[in-house]
Amino acid sequence: MKFDFDLFVIGGGSGGVRAARVAAADGVRVALAEEDRYGGTCVIRGCVPKKLMVFASEFAPMVEDARSYGWDIQNNGFDWHLFRSKMQAELDRLEGIYRKLLANSGVTTFDQRARLVAPNTVELADGRRISAKIILIATGGHPIRPDTPGAELGISSNEMFHLEDLPKSILIIGGGYIACEFAGVMNGMGVATTQYYRGAQILRGFDDEARGLVAEEMKQNGIDLHTGTNVLEMKKVEDGIWVKSTNGQERVFDQVMFATGRFPNSGDLGLNNVGIKTGRKGEIIVDAYSKTNVDSVYAIGDVTDRVNLTPVAIREGMAFVETVFKGNPTAPDHELIPTAIFTQPEMGTIGMSEEEARDLRPIEVYCTSFKPMKQGFAGRSDRVLMKLIVCAETRKVLGAHIVAEGAGEMIQMVGIAIKMGATKEDFDRTVAVHPTMAEELVTMKTPVRTA
């Protein structure tokens, strides 16, 4: 059978675009459909604009620090409108790059929704039907709101980048990295920030000691953080949004943001038309090579709900091309992925937490917490954390956890060593770079505890 294309990609985010480009570069006839903006969650409504907002929010304490270092600097406040216009211009530029990369690679693009109608056929929103030997679904995910009375009054992370004006006060509901990152951003921009999380501690799943320090520093920075607290009811009142919570409080906020989870974008894709299996959240179930239960259909990225990170989606896209079009079966590697959480303070992590590791094998824990030189000289009480989890038998470093300015940059480098199987003695043999915070990773000689 002759197909219109060898590969049809549904979704123009980072994973879908990378797969389309790499395949097209090898002479594969590729088409891609995207109903929204190219670049997906990361470029348009996630990593990139969020990091720009993090940068913007960090300057207020920098100004205070600069004065302590002898600079005569005045802080006349933050101009949200100026920043927002520059941020949107940057996102427009990046989307243009994505479009150009696809065009230069020879990928045919359709700026509309596509859905499956048969194992080798998609239907566009305008009614056209296009056949392809292989179909790749890379539609990402979306934020969800809880089933709470009045929840429609709140916004999600998607809308945070498009606020007309900064609110004077905001309630952020959730305890994951998105909630905690935006709490830091809003607080840094001068918004009175309150955060509710129903669990006992924020950043569930990360190392307890590391997330405990992040929570404590967030409070020290002025965020009104309440754990063990959830929202019961919300309603619109004259001066904002009235919120009743499980801690007995009734408060009014200018804005409420939900960061209570994300679900895969698998609805209305025609999955039932071809019998593609999905999980409880709607995630597309795939094998180790990203293939669904239908031989001609594959899926990558957040829509599969495996490891929901942009670089992982890109790796999955490249592994898909190796497997399907280059004859080199390649399963994406989901082990030992370094991760950064752009809270304030920042956190970087790779491998096992102390809690995970101690349940599996005997371990040694090397840890230190201290005031960094830069902030200490400026009179701030900020603390940082450097922590290594070591297998007592093999001496391999099973996990590293950093809470500090630039933790994301540090964990990228540490991740290489741990991915290679470095032992504690490999760290010990490495000469310290002095004076730096990261030197503590190679100078901790005695475990603080064993388990």
Active centre residues (catalytic): 434
**Type of residue found at 233:** E
Residue 383: which of 217, 223, 185 has the closest Cα? 217
| Residue from 423, 382, 387, 416 nearest 402 by CA | 387
The CA distances from residue 106 to 29, 95, 185, 373, in Å, are: 8, 17, 40, 52
Count Cβ atoms within 10 A of the Cβ of residue 378 and give its class: 0-12 exposed, 13-18 middle, 19 or more buried. middle
| Cβ neighbour number for residue 449 with a 10 Å cutoff | 11
Read off the tokens for 255: 């804005």
Question: What order of strands is seen across the sheet that includes strand 250-253?
Answer: 231-237, 240-245, 250-253
